[in-house]
Amino acid sequence: MKVVLSGGTGVIGSAAVPALVNAGHRVVALSRNPENVKVLSELGALPLPGDLFDVDSLTDLYKGADAVINLATHVPVGYAGALPGSWREHDRLRTTGVANVVEAARRAGVRRVVQESVSFVYADHGDDWITEQDPIEITPSTEPSCVGESHVQDYACDSRVGVVLRFGSILGDDPLTRFWLRAASHGRPVGIGRPESWAHLVHTDDLGSAVVAALHAPSGVYNVGSEPVLRKDLVAGFAEAAGAGGQGSFMGPMMRRLSGQRIEPLTRSLRISSDHFEAQTGWRPSRPEFDSEWFDVTVAVDHAVH
């Protein structure tokens, strides 16, 4: 396929571009600034200028494409997420940006749109399993992602395919994992929510293959991740990888309050199943169960840098 992709230099995009190229697809990557051209070229994509907030430029970019993949995000790392206005660009990408992607795809006659989303849009279900049929909980934090999903679902029809990938929280070779490992190494709390609640995760090694699989999925919303893990085991894994000893610690009420409203969805118990995506596409994670080895690449890179 000829695939036009946005967000190619982000955590998911930098895994997706080489995976798509290796699968035999021709990848055109939207480049919002000159600095990204070299990065995208090295990943194997053809960088072309475009603007997610300019429908006409997107329409021109999408002409002749078999599929459009939108992975553009702007997630603040660590404590920066508590600063006023730090999520404004991210929310605009998830709402106006996705609306523009879908409209441009319609105008250009593109038959498939794949949109990245997050699995913490689901309501807290305790120990019960969660599938794509279970209810979501819309709050100011999750609303932008839900709006983006609705644009893609409205795009889907008998002649067009709209795929939404609800990724678990990403761990592995990425800035946020490094932030939490550094916090754990200094004895700071990294646990969010209740120790006995569930977290839904996906390793950076499995992001690219999931995006490739989405090119063959029927229209719909899909959960993408490994087997759920108890938060106490996740925190213990951080502590072990960081060499901090013990089982690690959880944020208290005061620290959660200081972290702002964005942290609330991350406290939910999310025992999420990705069976539907696997059944429809054959995709399976190469890292099916969480353990401390998930951090090996991150720790090795940090040691090499220092």
Residue 305 CA, chain-centre distance (Å), reads: 26
For the chain, the C-alpha Rg in angstroms (whole number) is 19
pLDDT of residue 208: 98
CATH number of the domain at 186, please. 3.40.50.720
pLDDT in tens, 84-111: 777 788 889 999 999 999 999 999 999 9
Integer Cα distance of 194 and 267 in angstroms: 7
> For residue 212, how many other CB atoms are within 10 A of its CB?
21
Q: Which residues contact 107 (CB under 8 A, 6 or more apart)?
A: 55, 59, 62
> Where is average pLDDT lowest: 147-161, 221-235, 241-255?
241-255
Which residues are paired to 48 by β-bridges?
A: 30
Contact 185, 244 (CB under 8 A): yes
Integer Cα distance of 47 and 36 in angstroms: 8
pLDDT in tens, 176-194: 999 999 999 988 999 999 9
Q: Which residues contact 280 (CB under 8 A, 6 or more apart)?
A: 217, 218, 220, 222
Residue 52 confidence (pLDDT) above 70? yes
Residue 305 confidence (pLDDT) above 60? no
- The parent domain of residue 252 ranges over 2-305
pLDDT in tens, 139-172: 999 999 999 999 999 999 999 999 999 999 999 9
Residue 7 confidence (pLDDT) above 70? yes
pLDDT of residue 277: 98
> For residue 64, how many other CB atoms are within 10 A of its CB?
11
Split into its structural domains, the chain has a count of: 1
pLDDT of residue 259: 65
